[in-house]
Amino acid sequence: MTHLTSDELVDALDGELAAGRRAHLDACEPCLRQLAELTGVLGETRAVDVPEPSPLYWQHLSARVRMAIDAEPAAAGRWSQWLRWPVLAPIAGLALLVMTVTLAVPRPPVAPPDIALSAETETTQDDDRFAIVADLLGDLDWDTAMSAGLTIEPGAAEQALLELTASEQQELTRLLRAELTRAKS
Amino acid sequence: MTHGSAVRNAWAPAVATGWTVTVVQPTPAETAVALNVDGLDDVALVAASVEGRREAFDVIVERHRRTVYQVCYRFVGNHEDASDLSQESFVRAWKGLKSFQGQSLLSTWLYRITVNVCLNRVSAKAAPTDPLESIDHFEDTRTEGAQSTLLREERAATVRRAIAALPRKQRATLILRTYHDLSHQQIADILGSSVGATKANFFHALANLKKLLGSKP
């Protein structure tokens, strides 16, 4: 009868050798010797532990993983992070606040209407005011807005929403829905 | 007593004073938000992580970091590389979470990622292994206990170096089978090979170890 194959020796190590081959093993000196050698190496290998790192290391590893994930350029993930209500609500509130401030800024006294003043001139004045506000706010980042006092008080967004007209609320709803639908697609 | 009836009973005094109490069942999403992620099982943690809840992935890392690190350490035999490979394994897991279908255990899936990271990064030649621990504290080497401890540490370092010198697939098979008690079928699934190939790799890993260790008593 042939000696045990490598597969059968592994089965013998696992204690799963077929009965017929077990009979050969019991009677075969070379196979028994080979199995004993493998068993010895396996036992010595099993006895070697991984040195335990410092207890602080595990927290350190978690922190490293967290930072590495934060550094990952996951474009889709970043969009999904922005499209959450806890993020969208303050942004929407800030936008509404800017709109409210813009509308509430007292306008300089308008000179008595000139007979020659046309509707076109009035539109140009509004456009100019909007351009000034847009220029001022265009590069405004969050930190600058915070330091300038443009912070969102609790309930400010809700208050701003309540002050919208029905048609403005409908338009805001439409814009938010369109944005969410676009983000999902 | 059901949760709903318990709530109704708790509000009974208010109802008696004329209040109207409506018990509303929270939606699954609301319930998940309210739950502490520490109590979630692996499948729920994966689902929460896919939804962008980083604290859920933190728990996954916390639960599996020791196993992942140990696989990596067995592969490379030194702490620094094992640490880097562990980090890379978890980052890959994070990026691939959406592809985890739950058809296998999360631990098996993480084994697969970790072994692939190790196989890709580790060259076939032996990586530098950690030096022996400082022997400063073995001052009294005349005592039998200290000497045997030192010899045991030296032998362990020799075995680690021998494992790190094995061909990569043999190394992976030996590590998963010997230290993590995975079945040959599980190892075959992880390595993308057959059970027969896994057994052959295991046999040759042990045979090679015997040669490597036989010349270094």
In this prediction, residues B31-55 reach a mean pLDDT of 78
The chain A residue lying nearest B66, using CA atoms, is: A58
- Say what the pLDDT of residue B118 is: 93
pLDDT digits (tens, 9 = 90+) for A65-115: 999 998 876 544 455 555 566 666 777 777 887 787 777 766 666 555 555
Which burial class, exposed, middle or buried, applies to A78 when counting CB atoms under 10 A from its CB (0-12, 13-18, 19+)?
Answer: exposed
A84 with B204: Cβ contact below 8 A: no
Tell me the pLDDT of chain A averaged across its residues.
Answer: 76
Q: Where are the alpha helices (DSSP H) in chain B?
A: 3-10, 12-16, 28-34, 42-50, 54-76, 79-95, 106-121, 144-164, 168-178, 184-191, 195-214
- Residue A20 reports pLDDT greater than 60: yes
Q: Is B197 on the interface with A (CB under 8 A)?
A: no
Portion 126-165 of B in contact with A at CB < 8 A? 130, 133, 155-156, 159-160, 163
CA distance B95 to B49: 10
Rounded Cα–Cα distance for residues B29 and B12 (Å): 28
CB contact under 8 A, B69 and A9: no
Percent of chain B at pLDDT > 90 equals 46
ipTM score = 0.71
Under the banding of pLDDT at 50, 70 and 90, the label for residue A26 is very high
What pLDDT is attached to residue B22?
A: 54
Task: Tell me the range of A91-105, B23-37, B102-116 where mean pLDDT is highest.
Answer: B102-116
Q: Report the interhelical angle of B168-178 vs B54-76 (nearest 10°).
A: 110
Dump pLDDT digits (tens) for A38-62: 999 999 999 998 999 998 999 999 9
Lowest mean pLDDT among A107-121, A158-172, B112-126, B137-151: A107-121
Both tokens assigned to B153: 């540490």
Chain B residues whose CB is inside 8 A of the A65 CB are 61, 65, 87, 90-91, 94
CA–CA gap between residue B52 and residue B32 (Å, rounded): 13
Å from A141 to nearest chain B CA? 25
The whole-number average pLDDT for the span B66-78 is 93
C-alpha distances in angstroms, B214 versus A7, A20, A40, A41, B163?
23, 32, 11, 9, 13
Confidence at B12, pLDDT banded by 50, 70, 90: low
Do B70 and A44 form a contact (C-beta atoms < 8 A)? no
Q: Is residue A148 over pLDDT 50?
A: yes
3-state secondary structure of B103: coil
Contact B156/A58, CB-based, under 8 Å?
no
Q: Which residues in A lie closer than 8 A to residue B70 (C-beta atoms)?
A: 50
Identify the pLDDT of residue B135: 34
Is B1's pLDDT higher than 50? no
pLDDT band at A143 (very low <50, low <70, confident <90, very high): low
Phi, psi torsion values for A167, nearest 5 degrees: -70, -35
pLDDT greater than 60 at residue B27: no
pLDDT attached to residue A99: 80
In whole angstroms, give the CA distance from residue A45 to residue B161. 11
d(CA B170, nearest CA chain A) in Å:
14
pLDDT digits (tens, 9 = 90+) for B193-214: 999 999 999 999 999 999 998 8
Chain centroid offset of residue B178 CA = 15
Looking at the complex, does the CB of residue B86 fall below 8 Å from at least one CB of chain A? yes
Q: What is the pLDDT of residue B143?
A: 66
Q: Does A45 touch chain B (CB under 8 A)?
A: yes
C-beta separation of A100 from A92 below 8 A: no
- The DSSP code for A73 is -
Q: How far apart are the C-alpha atoms of A134 and A129, rounded to whole Å?
A: 9
Q: Residue B179: which residues within 8 A CB-CB, separation 6 or more?
A: A46, B70, B74
Residue A172: other Cβ atoms inside 10 A: 16
Among B71, B82, B67, B69, CA closest to B128: B82
